[in-house]
Structure 1
């Protein structure tokens, strides 16, 4: 086949299948050839599922040939983070603390993808238990980010157009920013976590990676078909620029340049920008960790007793710190969480969304450590997990340098509104002078 399908959109793949230009089997063969070339450097996949992928692709090719059309995801390969169960495939959690789980059934999100005709294309690497860093497709000497870095790298490298990940404190949006793709954390509980291993139940979100907001919209519709449609907007787009994140001391010069270029493009396109303030980044990071660490310690407590050495040092330190968090700190953090949710909903009454840097720097050499005092990587990320608001990282490329993320966040349950807003922003930025 002469057509290179590596970086085609979901819509372009779907059109190619139906025109006969290529088939799901062609696409999956190319994807596995690309994976084989890139994988030793990327370290993105734990289980490529090659034989099963080709069986699925053969079936999808035959179904489409016979006129059985399951919709826009039919025959589209989707990679799955390896804390999400796929029937008859090991879930390793990328850890030595427990033996791999042989899943007997699909997680609900995987079952929804299969019902939509998607091809489940392998289990991706992750950082929660530090199986090894996934490297960045733009520069293999840098990280793809954690914890959903394998899923991000698989999309950014052109292996698959879509992948699933999880986001407890930015674990989808940070890798998306580092890898130059779209990372979508939907509203809290918008997508089922049944069959997804927990880290912190009050903060965990299932989400996805794509190369455009349009592709993310297609995937979200399959994963959450009951989500409210985007509401028609009246007048210009109204965005709040989060001043104490946009102007934070940690924002590096190259990131600021990319953000300012995007801001000017939005202003020239008639977008109404208003500077707003959210709670201080350090206070939010501390509150998030005061919730995350003790909840994670409860989730993993029995394994810490039986096999503490099976955890990587960073994870073990985090869990041990969680065991020392006082109940009063946990309750105070939860009270702040509820207050910030109410305050954000009030602020959003006059705005369509808010924007901020996803992370204040481009992909570093190694994954930043999550300290008990917070860290610069999460200055903008924590608010959306604490409030449960839907949040997306959009890619910005600053004159050929490493990608930068622009984070766009909307009111809770406004997931399709947010996706529509991001499609508008992408159109504006793609036409910048």
Structure 2
């Protein structure tokens, strides 16, 4: 066992248990890779070298004494910079939060510690998680490991870059409109947004309390499933067996948004491969997408503004101009607009549930384009020019509006291509079944680490 993070959480865990690898060696390897690659990628904003090595050595001692805390025992994990750690400032990559010292660990962090995971550092992110590009951060944008002239996606940009570059085997992110799945797709990873509240968000800097989720970014479905199970405090942390052949996939078409031809070609190729493997494909138009986008904004904006209202008044200049503009806009969303958006949300949930009832699961492209370039403000698609932000979130916000679990899987990446993702979606509470479906679909569409 070489102990590289490309081997993934499960393989590393087996090596730790059979004695062919120890956590201290694994953690030192991660720290060395971070030191070598982070200047190029800007993935980590904090690295806890001494603390991580101490935790790794403690895991080794516990294992030698016969204590096994589960599948993450001794495994290095990275956290997005909006997860609280007791005694440290949680800045969410915003200068305005530089004094935001946490009194306690976030719930997810406490569960990682109880599972014996080694918290190795916190990662770069779009400021306050308030954007899908990863462009805006007090420490500058994280870079895509496949092409450092391009963004890693947002808002969990550094978490995606860190896992995709092999700096760490797995990382956590938060997801309000795609912020786990967007960077996962852009960097060629598996990204899981679970059912709303399945993984606790307590101690994660809130952006929108009715839309926020926590989820893992990993190199395989199995790794994402195991981490999610630990974070959800499931008694059973075994990997779901792949669903049998014969799934009926409802493939969503977006009437208002045409895919970049390169992404469209890979998506169609993936669907053909699924059909050839014995799965059934049907297509439907995903209606009300523009209304869903407007309602998502009308919910997120005032919820974010209410959270940061006092800080916006006290430290106005410390927010990036794009962030404070959004926070200011949220102040002017009236109660009637907010309540209408919530009413539409309820209707939209019923509408999508009606569609989903005709299929085993819903399938769609995660992003209409590949990772944009650093500084790129708009994307040219066959349907017209859209802002980079809208291109990143347009097909992802539905899962947040509904609170349904969604997972993005990397499609086959040929030489010279940038990663692209395919999303699977199931109704709320069906996380285990969704992961079983993902385990069946991933090898067919080309789930190979990039």
TM-score range, shorter chain: over 0.9
Structure 2 partner of 1:85 = 84
Bigger drift between 341-350 and 107-116 goes to 341-350
Structure 2 partner of 1:387 = 402
Residue deviations 1:316-374 (CA, integer Å, cap 9, x gap):
11111112223222111111111111222222223221111111000011376699997
Structure 2 partner of 1:199 = 207
Are positions 1:185 and 2:193 aligned together? Answer: yes
1-structure distance, mates of 2:405, 2:187? 20
Q: Is the 8 A contact 1:113 1:222 kept in 2?
A: yes
2-structure distance, mates of 1:335, 1:294? 16
* Cα offset, 1:186, TM superposition: 0.6
Q: Any residues of structure 2 matched to 1:237-386 within 5 Å, and which? A: 237-244=247-254, 249-366=257-374, 375-386=390-401
Q: Is the 8 A contact 2:229 2:236 kept in 1?
A: no
Quick one: structure 1 residues 299 and 104, their matched pair in 2 at CA, closer, same or farther if it must change by over 3 Å? closer
Unaligned runs of 5+ in 1: none
| TM-align CA RMSD | 2.3
Q: Is the 8 A contact 2:241 2:439 kept in 1?
A: no
* Cα offset, 1:282, TM superposition: 2.2
Q: Is the 8 A contact 1:133 1:367 kept in 2?
A: no
Structure 1 partner of 2:425 = 409
Q: Is the 8 A contact 1:107 1:194 kept in 2?
A: yes
1-structure distance, mates of 2:162, 2:227? 16
Q: Is the 8 A contact 2:250 2:281 kept in 1?
A: yes
SS in structure 2 of the partner of residue 91 of structure 1: coil
Structure 2 partner of 1:33 = 32
Bigger drift between 87-96 and 155-164 goes to 87-96
Structure 1 partner of 2:11 = 12
Q: Any residues of structure 2 matched to 1:157-236 within 5 Å, and which? A: 157-226=165-234, 236=246
Structure 2 partner of 1:123 = 122
Residue deviations 1:103-127 (CA, integer Å, cap 9, x gap):
2321111111111111112111111
2-structure distance, mates of 1:264, 1:316? 45
Residue deviations 1:272-322 (CA, integer Å, cap 9, x gap):
111123233322211111111111111111111111111001101111111
SS in structure 2 of the partner of residue 355 of structure 1: strand
Q: Is the 8 A contact 1:285 1:374 kept in 2?
A: no
Count of residues in correspondence between the two structures: 429
Unaligned runs of 5+ in 2: 129-136, 379-385
Normalised TM-score (structure 1): 0.94
Structure 1 partner of 2:133 = none
SS in structure 2 of the partner of residue 8 of structure 1: helix
2-structure distance, mates of 1:141, 1:430? 25
* Cα offset, 1:145, TM superposition: 1.1
Q: Is the 8 A contact 1:93 1:100 kept in 2?
A: no
1-structure distance, mates of 2:242, 2:412? 30
Structure 1 partner of 2:411 = 396
* Cα offset, 1:190, TM superposition: 1.1
2-structure distance, mates of 1:431, 1:386? 27
Structure 2 partner of 1:154 = 162
Q: Is the 8 A contact 1:314 1:369 kept in 2?
A: no
* Cα offset, 1:430, TM superposition: 3.9
* Cα offset, 1:376, TM superposition: 2.3
2-structure distance, mates of 1:260, 1:404? 12
Q: Is the 8 A contact 1:286 1:372 kept in 2?
A: no
